[in-house]
Amino acid sequence: MVRTIGVIGMGYVGLTLTAALARKGFTVHGVDVQPSVVDSLNRGHPHIYEPGVAEAFAEHVGRSIFVGAALPTGAVDAAVICVSTPVDERTRRPDLTNLAAAARHVAEACAPGTLAVVRSTVPVGASRSIVLPPLRAAWGEARLVMAPERTIQGQALRELVELPQVVGGLDEDSLYAGLDLFGGLAERLVPVSGLETAELVKLSNNCHTDLIYAYGNEIALIAERHGLDPLEVIGAANVDYPRPDLARPGYVGGGCLSKDPYIMLSETGDRAPFLIEPARRLNEHLPVHVARTVVELIRQECGTTEGTTLAVLGWAYKGWPATDDMRGTPIAAMMPAFAGAGLTVLGHDPLVADAVMRQYGGQPTSIDKAFSEADAVLVLTDHPDYRAIEPASVLGARRPAVVFDSWRILDEAALRAAGVRYAGIGYLPQGVAA
């Protein structure tokens, strides 16, 4: 029975898996190449925010969680590869350098017969073509499974147990070993016919989500051109209609949705998919479109953009479930437009550190000051702190000329009654040429 696990890569996927396994009674040896991460985790201080993870590390580090720069030689029953697989910003091709290095480390540090698990998101065929060769070269034979991570940030520890765990094996022996491992964690297992099937499951889930959100964003942009309210259109379309609901418009970011479509596209050969690339382009265009719209609204209401101040609420890529993750955050695509217009950008986020906002070009502020000192306010996420904002409590004698409420969570009537120009994604009352 598999009871001692190595987890290579202490990013979001590896960190949450380590915490979840420890809570289930496994002994876990985590590995990361960054000394600061290793040091922080060994002191029981996770470097990434996720509910329950800090508590799990505080309880188990030094007892059943051990973190180092390498796996202890021959000490683990299974080694789970959770390293990042980024895409190149220019070519959009996946960089599998970390995956190959992790596979070599498993081959060198682990004994023959150790179960190797790929949990990183990879192109179809990468487990077989990149991870398997060094294992076979070192061991002769290998046991290898692909078991994709499919959790949502903010609910990972619960979903690691409750979500069905897909497992695909190199062969029957590998599959049984993978099912034994994840049977000690997840409530339901879904065995599939092979490594490639499991790889495509993960890509299919995330690309489908990207497509769904893109359609909501398409509706919003069409509604904007016609002067209509996209939330009214989408809400009416969904009322007791027996087909899949239409998604609300919004930004699509994070570590998965902003890159996994490109990983899917990387192995499609001569025929590119019809839907995936255009949907990703649309979702990447939305923050730029909103930024340009906000700049134009400020110009209309203030007479100029030079020297004006914009307060941006919500710098993480999403607000609920809450996270501090900046991967795929819309503010990154927006800042060039704001800088080009001569705006001073203030920033607030309940979880993102002030230093991080400064790195992106923002000056940290409070919610109260955002509404009392800025010429315009842009709400980027639907964090509960922003949903709780009552205009009467934050608006003073000096108030913003414009509030762009991306998620339409503020009291529009109260803001308009106070003389504030109100707008949202695809929603521009009074009209604006963006």
Pair (141, 131) in one structural domain? yes
Contact between residue 170 and residue 195 where contact means Cβ atoms under 8 Å apart: yes
The mean pLDDT value of the chain amounts to 96
Contact between residue 394 and residue 375 where contact means Cβ atoms under 8 Å apart: no
Pair (213, 184) in one structural domain? no
Residue 352's closest CA among 391, 378, 313?
313
Query: Half-sphere exposure of residue 336, counting CA atoms within 13 Å on the CB side?
Result: 5
Pair (298, 164) in one structural domain? no
In this predicted structure, what is the pLDDT of residue 285? 98
Judge whether residue 241 has pLDDT over 60.
yes
432/91: higher pLDDT: 91
CATH of the domain at 307: 3.40.50.720
Q: Which whole number is the average pLDDT over 415-433? A: 88
Pair (287, 344) in one structural domain? yes
Residue at which a domain ends, from 158, 173, 193: 193
Judge whether residue 168 has pLDDT over 60.
yes
pTM for the full model?
0.94
Pair (116, 254) in one structural domain? no
The one-letter code for the residue type at 240 is D
Q: 141 is written with which tokens? A: 């034979």
Domain extent, residue 299, equals: 194-434
Pair (18, 71) in one structural domain? yes
Beta strands in 238-337 (DSSP E): 309-313
Contact between residue 233 and residue 227 where contact means Cβ atoms under 8 Å apart: no
d(CA 185, CA 117): 14
Element (DSSP H or E) covering residue 294: helix 276-302
d(CA 262, CA 86): 10
Residue at which a domain ends, from 164, 193, 222: 193
In this predicted structure, what is the pLDDT of residue 267? 76
Q: Which residues contact 44 (CB under 8 A, 6 or more apart)?
A: 54, 57, 58, 61
Q: How many domains does the chain have?
A: 2
Instruction: Write out pLDDT tens, residues 268-306.
Output: 777 778 999 999 999 999 999 999 999 999 999 999 999
Judge whether residue 432 has pLDDT over 70.
no
Residue 321's closest CA among 6, 12, 8?
12
Q: What is the DSSP letter of 317?
A: S
In this predicted structure, what is the pLDDT of residue 270? 72
Pair (189, 200) in one structural domain? no
Judge whether residue 344 has pLDDT over 90.
yes
Residue at which a domain ends, from 174, 193, 212: 193
Residue with tokens 């895409």: 87
Q: Which whole number is the average pLDDT over 413-430? A: 95
Residue environment code for 196-226, b if the CB has 16+ CB neighbours within 10 A, otherwise e: bebbbbbbeebbebbbbbbbbbbbbbebbee
d(CA 158, CA 20): 9
d(CA 290, CA 296): 10
Q: Which whole number is the average pLDDT over 74-81? A: 97
Instruction: Write out pLDDT tens, residues 383-402.
Output: 999 999 999 999 999 999 99
Percent helix, strand and coil across the chain, each rounded to 5? 45, 15, 40
Pair (154, 235) in one structural domain? no
Q: 94 is written with which tokens? A: 């996946």
Pair (252, 306) in one structural domain? yes
Judge whether residue 96 has pLDDT over 80.
yes
Among the residue ranges 2-6, 41-45, 347-351, the one predicted with the least confidence is 2-6
Pair (263, 198) in one structural domain? yes
Among the residue ranges 2-6, 35-39, 299-303, 384-388, the one predicted with the least confidence is 2-6
Instruction: Write out pLDDT tens, residues 102-141.
Output: 999 999 999 999 999 999 999 999 999 999 999 999 999 9
d(CA 247, CA 216): 5
Q: For a pLDDT cut of 90, what percent of the chain falls above it? A: 94
Pair (184, 198) in one structural domain? no
Contact between residue 29 and residue 6 where contact means Cβ atoms under 8 Å apart: yes
Pair (218, 164) in one structural domain? no
Residue with tokens 């979500």: 163
Q: Which pLDDT band holds residue 359 (cuts at 50, 70, 90)?
A: very high
